[in-house]
Structure 1
Amino acid sequence: MKDGFIRVAAATPEIQVADCEYNRKQVERMLKEACGQKARMIVFPELCMTGYTCGDLFLQELLLTSCVDALERLLEASENMDILGVVGMPLTVNGKLYNVAVVFKEGVILGVIPKTFIPNYSEFYEARHFERGPEKPILISLAGQETWFGTHLLFACTNLPGLVIGGEICEDLWAPNPPSISHALAGATMIFNVSASDETTGKDVYRKELVNSQSARLICGYVYAGAGEGESTTDLVFPGHDLICENGVCLSESRRFETGIVYGDVDLGRLLSERRRMNTFNQNEDRDYVRVGFEMSSEPLELNRYVDPRPFVPASDEDRRKRCEEILSIQAMGLKKRLAHTHCKNAVVGISGGLDSTLALLVTARAFDLLGLDRKEIKAVTMPCFGTTDRTYNNACQLVHELGAQLLEVNIREAVALHFKDIGQDPEKHDVTYENGQARERTQVLMDLANQCGGMVIGTGDLSELALGWATYNGDHMSMYGVNASVPKTLVRHLVRYYADICESKTLREVLLDILDTPVSPELIPPKEGEISQKTEDLVGPYELHDFFLYHMMRFGCPPAKIYRLANIAFEGEYPPEIILKWMKNFYHRFFTQQFKRSCIPDGPKVGSVALSPRGDWRMPSDASAHLWKAELEKIQI
């Protein structure tokens, strides 16, 4: 359970209706198998010890006593298994019959949860046999042990404080007010559901959406085990549809109409971080709840979990196209409002032939279209200087022409050279002063041009540059509205590519594709043999790594060691561990030292779940110490 991960399992055994001993053996076999796979929790289907489809056999004393006997043997078999099991069975309590989930570990019954909502409609006739379970737990005797019985039971792991388990049974999830809501508000981070949902056309889609959305709504892990083969098919067929979901993401799903076990490695740390972040998630409804403690081993887990190396970018083409259109619309609508509010009929954009300025110009053109303004009032300014190459210059000019904006060229070489002379800067010394002098001159030109036409300077810097502080303070760092401020670099590329795919002009498409193929560079150092000599990613590191670090740090509050572990999984075969660690150290150093730049950035629209606006998502003192984060990185052994 290192880094807060725990492996859980959902199982569908092949059973025989009313044969408790046979069913017990199937459960025991799967329990042992899951334990061998280092799962620490396994959930079996509703009434699987007898079969859900027993009908009026549930009223037979022999079946009920046989089921308890089978449970006793299952408990004995589990005594040396470090795994928490949940199994469904019928149980008589105080003269009433209940549909229950028995929670046990290493031979000890931790508690018994009865079903809350008893369906008695369509194909369901459970009220003929079962009673609704009580909320407030009471003590009962079962299989020679005293244990708790009631719906308001939580099972808390004492040596993994974040793991608190609550449960519900089948129909409970379909009800308007599922018990799992109360469980989560009382502190449960993991919900199990022992189920016997029969299959009808299209029901699997709804079932998956229901489980997935409940895990998202409750910010929890949700383990759903469904009845399958062996149940009576007199009137119904059961699919054995098992699901493991985490905060709206399906980690694992079984194939329908098959028996077996599915596993999922749930990230408890992520769930706890999300709950801390959302102050509207009020964990205070613990009235009447009984917490039962248990322990389990915390040996390291070899993660069997997909880690997306590009978390800002949807994997499928369809989702990516939809995301890109949505983001372009958000950017354009934000700028549209700002232009309309300030009565601006002109916009000024610095064009370098690079990705960020290209995206800013595309967004500005779309905003002008929305306002019904002439694109000729967009002043796209190219400002060649010491590092400008023919490739970027020509691409910038052609881009502006194809979009129908007004191209202005202001060569800043003489102005920068004069400035260097004024301050005594050696033009042969290519240091930070040499670079920033050019960047600030460009910003001065843009601002003054905006003053001339009563326009607005549109910022081009993106989220990744803000995180790293890869911007010249009061240079490209400054604008009047930053349309790219919350767009990470890995996503900028896809937005430009999307525009290339949907544009009608073949020439514009070719220009955009060449811009995409150009190395990312501020072009502040003279080129070598006409080619770009200053490549950003050689200096600060690959943006796909930095975006990965940023996402997991900001979105889930992950510590460096955990991010490093995830990055090694995500980028296996792409970057060796020592390279990942090298750039992680650089990321944290720059993130903490460059906060002062983020504290005074211009307005700009938020487009995703991660943003660094000091007025919105991120409030951090500019002089905060990075010692804790750097110290953890130094402890990492490669």
Structure 2
Amino acid sequence: MGHLITLATCNLNQWALDFEGNRDRIVESIKIAKSKGARLRVGPELEVPGYGCLDHFLENDTYLHSWEMYASILTNEDTYDIVLDIGMPIVHKSRKYNCRILSYNGKILFIRPKIFLANDGNYREMRFFTPFLKTNTCEEYVLPRLIQKITGQVCVDFGDAVISTLDTAIGCETCEELFTPASPHIALSLDGVEIITNSSGSHHELRKLNTRMELISEATAKCGGIYLYANQKGCDGDRLYYDGCASIAVNGKIVAQGSQFSLDDVEVVTATVDLEDVRAYRSSISHGLQSRESPKYKRIHVPIELTPSSTTFDIKLKPTKIREIKYYLPEEEIAYGPACWLWDYVRRCKGSGFFLPLSGGIDSCATAVIVYSMCCLVVDAANNGNAQVIEDARRIANMEDDKDWKPTDPTELANKIFHTCFMGTTNSSNDTRSRSKELASKIGSYHVDLNMDSLVTAIVSIFEVATGKKPVFKIFGGSNIENLALQNIQARCRMVLAYLFAQLLPWTRGRTNTGGLLVLGSANVDEQLRGYLTKYDCSSADINPIGGISKTDLKKFIKFGVKRFDLPILQSFLDATPTAELEPITENYVQSDEIDMGMTYEELSIFGRLRKVSKCGPYSMFIKLLHEWSDVYKPRIIAEKVNRFFWYYAVNRHKQTVSTPSYHAEQYSPDDNRFDLRPFLINPAFPWARKKINEIVETLEMNDGEDKHHQLENMVLT
């Protein structure tokens, strides 16, 4: 007879510092887990205060309120008869730790602090917490007085230990520890631990889930075992979207996987597994000898059984079958990730919807389609009976007085909460104006079409009166500086108009008791990297759902959206040449983004990944591209492209200091706020690197016809 056990993990949409809301979602997940027969429930990292508290983790209030919420969970009998693994921060010996608390029936079993902290990219855990480096060691932790009164315990074990029940052993990892080379799950498995939990706060990036799911599968593929992965889901108050996918793996195979993108605040994933499968798997692999030398963990004995007793046999209780892992294509991830992030943002900030300057270009088009995708997700959730979504939708759409109303059509919902505006000038084409109008009509947004020439002319006239000088466009004989200034004033006027319309459009529609609209930006990651945008123009907004997405991926998304959302109009956006439309159009000249930038969007993506992901400066980027592009470009052309990129990246770096908070979706994001920490005053010539590059170019040109790769090797070595 097998030893069957039902286990639960979950995705929770927690919100930083929403203590009571977070507690209620935790309790709801415990109730659902129990209703499914689970004997162990695992939750996300730091789920009590929310993972993204950032510097609020330096405040003592965060720790006090976390204990107060935990106390109410301990005293709630709905949380009894199941082992709980809950995440919250704890102060021990004046040091702050990121911890898991394991409990059963109102008693704390032990506290497991995080050993390896996430401290790169988006994460700065070492700023808030101390890593617990005393592996395989426990200390005594004196519980707060309010907990002592509830549990009758004065001290509990604090450290790197495992739970030993009458029928199995349970160990813990926390988020980053799955990704580290020396992951604790290996030593835990070698010491006989059969169930390993991982409580995570892992964010979404395009194509990242594959890596995470591989690691979850591999965690038990070598040594055998059961792995429970829990994750935060949703926007908890910052640029990141945590993408769920709570999972359960057995012996390297996935048996349960939660959703990656959904509007459900609480999602519980369960599986029934057989402990005998773990024992059989381990008997067939050569880990016995290694286990004799591996670390030994302190066992905290708990006299409970998680599996049915040997005298009980339930024919209905069956092991959960292995399943295929669900992956989305990148274009699908763009459709759903930023859409969920936008929904969380607008509902939690008590906004009335969104305002978007819809230019007729592919970037603002993609942003509009993401909002429409959000409306589709809201309608689907409402049709599935999600009461929280229905309540939020009523408030945002100003339909609170109609208790029978719920969103049933995404176009109707978009008309209530999404506002778009084409802000044309004499430099705008009829094509972009008509594309904007038709797209707005198809997705249902409340659309305004205007010309702002009089506004631009008035501002330029003020300058002319004050200085006696009238700037003209380059095409009419003006200088580069005049040309740029005349483009920038158009872009900046759009930002001013955007905020005016965002505040007053609801009022014009009779909604006097609602808040304003959130202004959406639509500069893509490549334009931000190159600095191809005007500081404080309409890229300056409240939030930007595409600020971390490349132009290449946005085009794939638009192509996907033609069929997914039944929007044939999107093809015309794909066919159009990307243009800012800030310079006059003549018979011989139409402004082009890629010509203006001096590089293609595809090249920008390559430069961006080499700069950020491969950690290349100008010299090493040039060397790499010499190898990769030698069949396409001559060395001097490659050098010019690299030098041009770094010049514009450096001179425009200051724009990132005020860049609109963007949905984080790419590893080469230039976001200055935590992710890409670099100075914003840099010598854009990079003179020493440029000198070394020029030396290589000149040598290669002198020896043209010889083996370039052999030459390059010798030059790099010297």
Return the TM-score normalized by structure 2.
Answer: 0.41
Larger Rg: 1
